[in-house]
Structures are given as structure tokens and as C-alpha cells.
Structure 1
Amino acid sequence: MTTTTSHKATSYQRSAWAFLGPGAAVVVLVLYLPVLYTVYLSFTTYSGLGSPVFAGVANYVALVQDPVFVTSLVNTLIWVAGSLLIPVGIGLVVAYLSFGLKGAAWLRVPFLIPYALSGVAVGIVFGFVLQNGGALSQALAFLHLPGSETRWLQEAPLNTVVMILAASWQGIGVNALLFTVGLQSIPKEPLEAARVDGASGWRLFRFMVWPLLRPSTTIVVGLSIVNSLKTFDIVQAMTQGGPNRVSETLGVSMYRDTFSNSDYGLGSAVAIFLSIITVAASVIYVRRQLAIGDSSGDTASKDA
């Protein structure tokens, strides 16, 4: 009996590995090996020709001492803050105000259409609008309004702010959709009981809807943090990190160092640094949300 059971378990494990093996091999080949190679390159001097020459931590020391890297890091943090305040905040407002309205799905369609565009396409469109003498400047001049002479994409940090607004135009819709899904998953009974007790408007949202919306909020904010840390396409399409690299993000710096300057070692160091802060930010945020959820559950249990 025991031998038969052991044989069946072994056969089952072999079958499982037969199915898992190809997928695991692809993940290792496409994901893990390039990461390990990038880590190796970050400790070398390599121009793409010849063989990499080991340089220790020289690339990381150069990053810390490079004022452009500091500017890129600051711009990336501005992107994180802007992405949380604007597309996430407005997406939540759109989802909450349209939830339950007749034809609400059609009301959200105009916000979702920009999400179908690529980041490069959005960057090109807004670059045409915001360039010197572009559509916005011409419209302001025609209406005799101030700002027609403003160099939207040439002055820092104004160029970073307007690029965040462009990215927000694209991202509001999907955030509203995710929040709408979260609102649909909230049980109706607690909300109806709160309304009977006199809660409405801001009080209803603050003390009932917002806590019950926490799982969706965790997902939306987590995705926003990760995506904003990796910002590349819109910046590259609108300013290429200029002028004089004042609007670069870490993603743009990584691309410039690696492919434009052919300094694969320094570019790899930027990539590893960006990966570390992305993973760290994600882990810290998720653990904090889980801790808040556990404390809320303990409080509810004690009250019960």
C-alpha cells in the first residue's frame, strides 16, 4: 500500500515537473539570466566592444558623484508623487462620482480611450501641443491670455510637471476602472446601514467606502508607484531628458548611458539601482498595507 502510494506520488511529481519545466526554463532564460548579467556588467567597464573589464564599485561611485544622477533621482521621485496625486486621485473621484449613475459605463469611456494609446504616442501629441510656438502657445496668444511665451518643455521643473500631466491624461481612465471594480465588490448592506444612521457625502466615503476600498487602493497605488519609478517613454518622446538633462528620470538616464554613450557598465549600475528601489518601494508599501489591514482586523475583533 505504502509502495503504491509512493509510486503514485513520484509519478505525479514527474508529471508536474514535465508541465512546469518548460515554463520555468523560459523564466530563467528570459528574466533571471539577464538580471544576473546586468549585475555583472554593473561592476565592469564595457563599451559593447571587446570583453568587459572588471572595475569593482567604480560605476556606483560615479553614480553617487554625478549631479545628473541626483537630478534624475529627484525627477523620478517627483514622478512618483505626481502619479499618486493626479491620475490616482482623479481616477478615484471619477469612479466614485460615476458609480451607480445610469449610463456610468459610457461616462467613463472618454477617460479610458487615452489608455489605448502608447506612451510614445501620448508624448508626441503633447510634445506638439507644448513645444515652443506650439498649439497651446498659439491658442493662448490668440485669446490674449498670459503664458503664450512660456517655454513649457524647456524650463525645469515645469517640463517635468507638464509631462506628469500628459501621463495623467493617459492613466486616469484605467485607475477609475480599477476603483470602479473595487466599488462594485463592496457589500451593499454596510452602506445602506450607514445611510440609515445618517451618514452621507464625505462622512460616508471617509468612514465606510474608503476602508472597504482598501484592497483596490493597494493594487492601484502599488502599480502607480512601480510604473512611475520606471517612467521612460513619455519623457523620451517629449524632451529626451533635456534640455541639458534637467528632465531626465532614472529610466532615461539608464537608456542614455547604455545606448547613447555606450557605457554599458554605468547603464547597468543605473538599472540595478532602479530595480532595487522599485522592489524596495513595492515591498515596503505592501507590508505597510498588510500591517494596517491586520491592525484594523484586530480592532474590529476587539470591538466585537
Structure 2
Amino acid sequence: MSSSLDQRPARSPGPRTPSGPGRPGSSGPARRDARRTRDRFAAAGFLAPAVLLVSALLLVPFATTVYRSLFDDRRVSGFAGLDNYALFLDDPVLTRSIENTLMWVAGTVALPLVLGLAIAVLTQGTGWSRAARLLVVLPYALSGSAVAVVWNFVLNTDGAANQVLKAFGMGSLAQGWLLEWPGNTIVMIIANTWQSAGVAVILFLVGLQTIPPETLEAASLDGAAGWRKFWFVVLPQLRTVSVIVVGTSLVNGLKSFDLIWVLTQGGPGRQSETLAVSMYQETFLALHPGAGAAVAVVLTVIVLLTSWLYLRRQLTPKGN
């Protein structure tokens, strides 16, 4: 009996129903597409407030300014084309404004970079470093108008600078520091440096603290010391910090306004104006909104183009 049961052919299993994500008609790809679509809508929802805010506060005003710069300054404005932009070639005030802006860019980039790096290196690891850093960084906490008030007390005709010169028998060097060009522009750049060097010191101190001690020890073992050690070992590792310092100084120099306005109001005879001051003068004081809008557009394009070219050049990996 048992042998007959053992000789009975086994029942073959029926065809297995395919299962899993690879079976025909699976909804796996459809689900993935639906998930991607939901993720894109979610990302767009998160980005929408920022895009709307930037558009409302930056893009729309800029487009309006560009549109206004194409019209003249009459009460019933007529289309003027590029006539307002031609003032940069014909108006000596705007020509001098461009010269002053270039001076501000050169001064506000070079001086904070050099002074900030020097102060950071000299005060690192010293016993009086905290006090020195506080004295340097403190002016950065002041507004541009407050800095202008302080330096007006120093640079006025009867101010502290002339009084000190007279007290030490150098009265012949006393002068009206804010009354003649280009001296007034130079002393205002120095006043701006007194304020802006603080942030450069902070950034360079952070950069110095990130340098691995092993590289400095290896350089010392190889015989590098003093200036050679700083130039070939320390400075290359501060490249990223230097890019940030130069970039921020570049933008600040191009849009300098408050310190100049409080100290000289662009005078005497509009000789110390920068493009930012000229924009204000033309729009609100001379009542030339078309010319003021043209100055604003040119200044904005210069700031954006200069910043983009500089950052693109500095942050692009070598060899690309």
C-alpha cells in the first residue's frame, strides 16, 4: 500500500503568479513619477515666498528704475531713449563722480585688506591681543553717520587734526581737509578704513586659526621663517578669506554714501561725489528723476558685474 502511494506521480505546481516590482503591469515607475512630481511641487511651494519677496523688493524696483531712466525730466515725461545715459560723457559732474568712485574702490579694497591682515597677524597669540582687537573692531559697530560725525570733529578746519599740528609747531601743515579735491576724497577713504578694517581683522583671525599647526611646523623644519614662512605658507591658506574681504570691500566702496553725505554732501561744488551720492543729488535735489534713474542703473550694473567677475575668477578651481 505504501509502495503504491510512493509511486504515484507528484502533482506539478501550477504557474506562479509573478509578483514584486518587476512583474508586468507594475505601478512602480508610475509611483516614482508621481513622487517626483509631488517633490517638485513641494520644492516650488517652499521657494515661492523667497522668489516673490526678491521679485517684489529687488527685481520690480530695478525694472521700474530702468523704465524711468528712458524718459526725460519734464512733468509730462517724454521718451528720451539713452539721452540720460549720455550725460556720463557730457556732464563734468558725473565724470568726476566716476573718478571718485574708482578712488573709493581702490582705497576701500586695498587699505582694509592690508591693515586687517597686518593687525590680525601681529596680534595673534600676543598678551594684549584681545584689547587690540577690541579697539580695532569697535568702530565697525558704529553706523556710517556716527563715524562721519567723529571724523568731522577731527577734520574740520578748527578740528582736532589742525589743533594737534599747531600744538607740535607744524601749523604750516594745517589745512581745510574737506575743502579741496582730491584731498577730501582721500581723507574720507581713510575715515572709512578706520571703520571697515575691523571686519577684515575678524575674518583674517578666523582664517589664521583654521591653518593646521602641522603645516607651520613642517615649514619651520624646512627652514622657512619670518617673511618667507608668511608669504609661501600662511598667505596661500588665507585665499578664501581674502576673497571674502575683497568682495565685501569692493561692493561697499562702490555704494559709499552716508559718510560722504554727512562730511561734505558731495562738495565743495559736487567735487567729492561718488555715483551713489550723484544718484541722490540728481533725483531728490536737482529734481532730475530720469538722470538719477540712469545713474542708479549704471551703478547697479557696475556692482553686479564687478562682483560676478571677481568672484567667478577667484572661486573657479585652478585648471578649469
Task: Verify same fold: TM over 0.5.
Answer: yes
Instruction: After superposition, give the CA deviation of every residue in 1:245-275 in whole Å (9 maximum; x if it has no partner).
Output: 1111111001100111111110111111111
Partner of 1:99: 124
Partner of 2:148: 123
Query: In the TM superposition, what are the counterparts of 1:67-82 in structure 2 within 5 Å?
Result: 67-82=92-107
Aligned residues: 293
Partner of 1:192: 217
Residue 137 (structure 1) aligned with residue 137 (structure 2): no
Residue 216 (structure 1) aligned with residue 241 (structure 2): yes
| AA aligned opposite 1:85 | A
Return closer, same or farther for 1:51/1:7 CA change in 2, 3 Å cut-off: farther
Partner of 2:266: helix, strand, or coil? coil
Partner of 2:269: helix, strand, or coil? coil
Question: In structure 2, how many angstroms separate the alpha carbons of the residues matched to 1:252 and 1:235?
Answer: 8
User: Do the aligned residues in 2 keep the contact of 1:122 with 1:170 (CA within 8 Å)?
Assistant: yes
Q: Indicate the structure with greater helix content.
A: 1
Shift of 1:104: 2.8
Shift of 1:107: 2.6
| AA aligned opposite 1:191 | L
Partner of 2:171: helix, strand, or coil? coil
Structure 1 residue aligned with 2:257, among 210, 213, 232?
232
Shift of 1:141: 2.2
Query: In the TM superposition, what are the counterparts of 1:235-254 in structure 2 within 5 Å?
Result: 235-254=260-279
Return closer, same or farther for 1:51/1:190 CA change in 2, 3 Å cut-off: farther
Partner of 1:294: 318
Partner of 1:182: 207
Question: In structure 2, how many angstroms separate the alpha carbons of the residues matched to 1:37 and 1:115?
Answer: 34
Partner of 1:302: none
Partner of 1:15: 42
Shift of 1:225: 0.9
Partner of 1:281: 306
Q: Percent identity, aligned pairs only?
A: 44
Instruction: After superposition, give the CA deviation of every residue in 1:89-143 in whole Å (9 maximum; x if it has no partner).
Output: 1000011112233463343111111001000111111112211112222232233
Residue 60 (structure 1) aligned with residue 82 (structure 2): no
User: Do the aligned residues in 2 keep the contact of 1:140 with 1:146 (CA within 8 Å)?
Assistant: yes
Question: In structure 2, how many angstroms separate the alpha carbons of the residues matched to 1:294 and 1:147?
Answer: 53
User: Do the aligned residues in 2 keep the contact of 1:138 with 1:148 (CA within 8 Å)?
Assistant: no
TM-score (norm 2): 0.87
Structure 2 residue aligned with 1:151, among 176, 184, 192?
176
| AA aligned opposite 2:78 | V
Question: In structure 1, how many angstroms separate the alpha carbons of the residues matched to 2:31 and 2:243?
Answer: 47
Structure 2 residue aligned with 1:45, among 37, 51, 72?
72
Shift of 1:85: 2.4
Question: In structure 2, how many angstroms separate the alpha carbons of the residues matched to 1:106 and 1:13?
Answer: 52
Partner of 1:153: helix, strand, or coil? coil
Partner of 1:301: none
Residue 36 (structure 1) aligned with residue 99 (structure 2): no
| AA aligned opposite 1:117 | L
Structure label with greater radius of gyration:
2
Question: In structure 2, how many angstroms separate the alpha carbons of the residues matched to 1:278 and 1:128?
Answer: 32
Shift of 1:242: 0.3
RMSD (Å), alpha carbons: 1.7
Shift of 1:34: 0.4
| AA aligned opposite 2:280 | Y
Shift of 1:35: 0.6
| AA aligned opposite 1:214 | R
Instruction: After superposition, give the CA deviation of every residue in 1:25-48 in whole Å (9 maximum; x if it has no partner).
Output: 11101110001111111111246x
Shift of 1:53: 2.6
Which runs of 4 or more aligned residues in structure 1 lie more than 6 Å from their structure 2 counterparts after TM superposition? none
Question: In structure 2, how many angstroms separate the alpha carbons of the residues matched to 1:284 and 1:21?
Answer: 28
TM-score (norm 1): 0.91
Q: Which runs of 5+ in 1 are unaligned?
A: 299-304
User: Do the aligned residues in 1 keep the contact of 2:162 with 2:171 (CA within 8 Å)?
Assistant: no
Partner of 2:283: 258
